[in-house]
Chains A and B, each alone.
Chain A
């Protein structure tokens, strides 16, 4: 049904850059964003590496044009969403039906943590301003107001697949003729809540993560935001520049195995990838690059790898986990990696999977370890799998 959905603008911020250009430069230099914790106030400092955006809360808020005590999550979101909207530079945007579909996992938790320190000692204490924007939806609302978007806004939260689902939902709003233009993606800032949460699950690597390596020991948490501007066919025709690509396939499946762990055979991942291929009308052999979910945990990479084997064997496209650069940015990862997937098509590049050494025993393939340029990339698959079994795959196709 409906229109083809085009990608007209991109914006991203993560530990390896504050915009698209800085990301491309970091990829070329093969420079990862992990390091010792410098901004987050936690006992895990100097013990657990994370991939922080290299700006303080105040610097981020200033860059975004928001009050200094704003949630880091909203600042990250606004910076990347604004970059995407400016990049798209849609003529006559005011007259179009425009929406903002964003995603995150813990909303304004970074501020709520401050509130609760005082609140748990005395229920009448705690600065209300720090808890006022606790909700996930508040982050979206703050950014939409700054961007002047009133037509439609909503927020999705499906753990680590959140922003892939936001992009997916946005595309369907266009196909169903609800909207003409949607800025879609997601954001998440590092918080004590998530860092300690993942730490209790014992899936954090105390070294830099090694996705898809036989000796991988866990993930590194990251933070950031990634957005793309999706437009209808009608809007694509009035753009001053050619759109980047099409969003040709998408699918959301549930692993229905465990609240946090993936099934050994990667049922949810397999169904998500297979469904996205069917939607795009492509065969596995048509995929030129897979941007893996590839968190670096033994469980995820094994399940995802097994699902890829089942679907792609014996012809494996180049693949890599860019989480080896950005860390796992949770609710932002689907949006950030969708941006990388589109850039792979636009610039003919394949990103290296850093620190990979040993092929996983159960897999007949391994990720790409070199930064490759001059590639002819027509179709890219981007995987995002999360807690609650929520698995989503997106496919971007050149025009």
Chain B
């Protein structure tokens, strides 16, 4: 069975939402954190509902609604989300109040909206969708787990038009804590210069990207999602190479067939060494692209990468800003996305032109 991406929508720190330009006007940030550009949510969500929604819920619901609209679908066959951190803003609000007010006189709203399944639940509630509804919360492969669920549902003939998305929000609190944990750069940089900085840490990021998956052929489909694979704690580079080759072989492909590799290079020297080595070994003869200078580093950033890849094959053009190396003049038809989060969770996605 072939699985197609029928439509996509992406809210990110770039002008990716409600905008037909495909990354032609790149937004520059100087700092250590990239914040999502928020659209006028009223176009997508009832203003009465909006008031209570936190940042992640607004991003998730608006991206989901726009994705459905673009896919000309009113009722999805299933709603599946992936989020590593869930509803951080509401979680921190309730936790802080619990401590500061010594467990007394707490309002319930933040708690109610703190559960990780809130985005998927709110989408179901707005659509009155009683179908399959699930939320995956597994660190750097939260989105990939959701995507695997969606592909299995299609293969099982359980549902069609499956809405699947990856969402994570960065709050001031999570940014502070994750900075203390060493995830982000200690001095401000320009995101357009992220990979040249050669220091530890990346730039923090956030966003929401949704996709409508179907097994029905249509010339309106964006792309084919050929395959997906996750790898946990590979021992060394040789194991990663072996797994990438095996993954391609299972799909009757070799590296020769790959027109473009999109890697998850983050600007963190401690993490980018894997990409640097692969770029000179397995990926040696391939065009290369990066994306984290556009959306920042976060556990579900691979959803941004999938949005990028599916729109590249649809538009038959690679935005200038993502190109790292161009050695073959080729219309990009087959793209491999390879990302790892903190070297622990690695994922592979194959995207092909329809």
Contacts and interface: CB of A to CB of B under 8 A. Distances in A.
Contact of A113 (B99, B116, B152): B99
Contacts of B141: 154
B96 A388 contact: no
Given A117-B99, A254-B131, A387-B115, A137 B108 contact: no
Interface in A173-189: 173, 175-176, 178
Nearest to B180: A128
A42 B94 contact: no
Contacts of B133: 158, 252-254, 388-390
A371 interface: no
A201 B124 contact: no
A156 B98 contact: no
B269 interface: no
Contacts of A252: 132-134
A255 to B, nearest CB: 7
B19 to A, nearest CB: 31
B125 A256 contact: yes
A109 B98 CA distance: 13
B233 interface: yes
Nearest to B108: A200
Interface in A97-120: 105, 107, 109, 112-113, 116-117, 119-120
A140 interface: yes
Given A137-B137, A256-B125, A200 B106 contact: yes
A302 to B, nearest CB: 19
A263 to B, nearest CB: 10
Given A42-B103, A120-B96, A197-B94, A158 B135 contact: yes
Interface in B175-189: 176-177, 180-181
A39 interface: no
B104 A153 contact: no
A306 interface: no
Contacts of A200: 106-108, 111
Given A113-B95, A196-B98, A258-B125, A388 B117 contact: yes
A255 B130 contact: yes
A260 B124 contact: no
Chain B interface extent, by class: 35 or more
A136 B125 contact: no
A213 B129 CA distance: 31
Interface in A40-57: 42-44
A136 to B, nearest CB: 4
A193 B113 CA distance: 13
Contact of A105 (B104, B116, B128, B157): B116
B135 A157 contact: yes
A386 B116 CA distance: 12
Chain A interface extent, by class: 35 or more
Most buried by A among B103, B111, B113, B121: B121
Contacts of B230: 152
B149 interface: yes
B37 to A, nearest CB: 26
B325 to A, nearest CB: 32
A27 interface: no
A109 B94 CA distance: 12
A137 B142 contact: yes
A271 interface: yes
Given A150-B233, A200-B106, A252-B134, A119 B121 contact: no
B137 A43 contact: no
Contacts of A137: 84, 137-139, 142
Interface string B242-254: 0000000000000
A157 B139 contact: no
B85 interface: yes
B134 A1 contact: no
Contacts of B114: 197
Given A131-B177, A200-B107, A116 B99 contact: yes
A355 interface: no
A368 interface: no
B136 A154 contact: yes
A268 interface: yes
B281 interface: no
A135 B180 CA distance: 16
A201 B106 CA distance: 10
B302 interface: no
A63 to B, nearest CB: 25
Contacts of A144: 232
A155 B136 contact: yes
Interface string B195-235: 00000000000000000000000000000000000101100
Given A158-B133, A176-B155, A386-B117, 8 more contacts: A1-B155, A116-B99, A119-B177, A169-B134, A176-B156, A192-B103, A196-B103, A254-B130
26 contacts: A113-B98, A116-B95, A120-B100, A124-B180, A135-B84, A136-B138, A137-B84, A137-B142, A154-B138, A154-B141, A155-B145, A157-B117, A157-B135, A157-B136, A158-B134, A176-B155, A192-B98, A196-B103, A197-B112, A197-B114, A200-B106, A253-B131, A253-B133, A256-B127, A259-B122, A386-B117
8 closest Cβ pairs, A-B complex: A388-B121, A197-B111, A200-B108, A137-B139, A157-B116, A137-B138, A136-B137, A154-B145
